[in-house]
Amino acid sequence: MSVSSTPTSNDACLSIVHSLMCHRQGGESESFSKRAIESLVKKLKEKKDELDSLITAVTTNGAHPSKCVTIQRTLDGRLQVAGRKGFPHVIYARLWRWPDLHKNELKHVKYCQFAFDLKCDSVCVNPYHYERVASPGIGECVFNTHTHTHTQTLHTGHLTLSLSGPVHNELVFQPPISTHPAPDYWCSIAYFEMDVQVGETFKVPSSCPVVTVDGYVDPSGGDRFCLGQLSNVHRTEAIERARHVHTHMTDHTLTHRLIQ
């Protein structure tokens, strides 16, 4: 294979990995990306048509139709790479398409026969057999201020609860009218780095109508969730940068307002 040509399944694994590495999006460290790609190429070496489909999809950015690229589904559905576990279709979609992808943001295309959510024995990890969709929201968000709007997106570490609004923002959640008794907790917040939850889910009691999410290291209380105190032994440099940005941004305050 020449330096400028696209590899095929007949080429050495090293050549294929090198070519596929050139198309990664940069959200992961180089070492993790290489381990993930090496693992996939080795799994596909005996399935040359699928390996060729992967090479075609990645090197052409999905410009040409490609077949399913499958690996064996594990018992818990997750794939372990370099000591980290994650959903395989999410891992490779992040590598080659969306580095800031969250695990709930993928929907398979109609012609994918082995999509992750189809629960087959094999899982398709072709990044171009999935489309990105918005994460499920929590109720209706209404901004109650007219100041300049600021949207924050953490590219590798972020909350499942999207925080977007004005600086010094207050988000008002307006649930539908209900005759049921008020729940013990009106909001649950989980913090994820990539697709791995870090720390326990933070539940906000109904007795605390306002909750602050910040990057400090103070112990979290009923009305405050501090991300700075959360540790993760598998934290990457990209996640550290995202947390650094979050720590130096204005705190986020969420308000729960019951509609009478």
Tens digit of pLDDT at every position of the chain (260 positions): 444 467 777 778 889 999 999 998 877 888 899 999 999 999 998 999 999 999 999 999 898 889 999 999 999 898 988 888 899 999 999 999 998 888 888 999 999 999 999 999 999 999 999 998 876 544 433 333 333 333 333 334 444 343 333 334 444 445 555 555 667 777 778 777 777 777 777 788 878 778 788 777 766 666 787 877 778 777 777 777 777 655 444 455 555 544 33
- Cα–Cα distance for residue pair 23/99, rounded to 1 Å: 12
- Cα–Cα distance for residue pair 199/229, rounded to 1 Å: 9
CATH 2.60.200.10 boundaries in the chain: 141-256
Instruction: Give the number of other Cβ atoms within 10 Å of residue 94's Cβ.
Output: 25
Give me the pLDDT at residue 244, please: 67
Structure tokens at 223: 């009305």
Give me the pLDDT at residue 227, please: 78
Contacts of 248 (CB under 8 A, 6+ apart): 215
Fold of 141-256: Tumour Suppressor Smad4 (2.60.200)
Alpha-carbon separation of residue 228 from 78, 163, 169, 191, 214 (angstroms): 27, 17, 20, 11, 8
Give me the pLDDT at residue 136, please: 52
pTM for this prediction: 0.53
CATH 3.90.520.10 boundaries in the chain: 13-132
Alpha-carbon separation of residue 82 from 39, 89, 138, 184, 235 (angstroms): 10, 16, 34, 40, 12
Give me the pLDDT at residue 6, please: 73
- Cα–Cα distance for residue pair 28/26, rounded to 1 Å: 5
13-132 CATH: 3.90.520.10
